[in-house]
Amino acid sequence: MKNQLAVLLLSAILTTGVAPAYAAPLMSPSPQVIAQADAREKIAEEFVDMLVKGDTRNALERYDSTIRENITPQSLGDMWSDLINETGPFEKRTSIRSDGNMTIVSCEFEKGKRDLFIIFNDANKIVGLDYVQPQ
């Protein structure tokens, strides 16, 4: 019975093209993908620095033009103020990493840590911003 199950499982894998994840070769990201991630991380760092300084007008310039139509420097500042009211003053960025169109800036505030999720479009313009307390 065990042999029949093994043969059945093997034939299912071979006919459906499903193979264990470890069987797939790991591929390195292309130089273009690395360059785009580096550019997004730089933009994200500058964006957070502008928010920290209260320079919401220039921070808003990092957004895609269609998004800027619905956000004002005041509303962006209010969102940042809400975060500061919840977490206390900003202290420092602790890490930054990119994953596809999202760049995550981990920050330390007086009352704890928050991850800022900055979403980019293909033109490296910001289209979304959110924050959560890391697990």
pLDDT in tens, 108-125: 999 999 999 999 999 999
- Closest Cα to residue 33, out of 120, 127, 129, 128? 120
- Answer yes or no: is pLDDT of 4 > 90: no
Q: What is the DSSP string of 25-74?
A: PP-PPPHHHHHHHHHHHHHHHHHHHHHHHT-HHHHHTTB-HHHHTT--HH
Is the residue at 106 inside a domain? yes
Lowest mean pLDDT among 20-24, 42-46, 101-105: 20-24
Is the residue at 85 inside a domain? yes
Between the two ends of the chain, the Cα-to-Cα distance in Å is: 45
pLDDT in tens, 91-102: 999 999 999 999
In this prediction, residue 125 carries a pLDDT of 97
Is the residue at 2 inside a domain? no
Is the residue at 108 inside a domain? yes
Is the residue at 13 inside a domain? no
For 21, 30, 32, 96, the CA distances from 49, given in Å and listed in that order, are 40, 29, 26, 13
How many domains does the chain fold into? Answer: 1
Domain span at residue 40?
31-131
For 8, 30, 125, the CA distances from 27, given in Å and listed in that order, are 31, 9, 27
Is the residue at 120 inside a domain? yes
Is the residue at 21 inside a domain? no
- Answer yes or no: is pLDDT of 15 > 70: no
For 49, 82, 98, 100, the CA distances from 132, given in Å and listed in that order, are 18, 13, 16, 19
* Mean pLDDT computed over every residue of the chain: 83
Return the CATH number at 87: 3.10.450.590
Tell me the sheet residues that pair with 69: none
Is the residue at 10 inside a domain? no
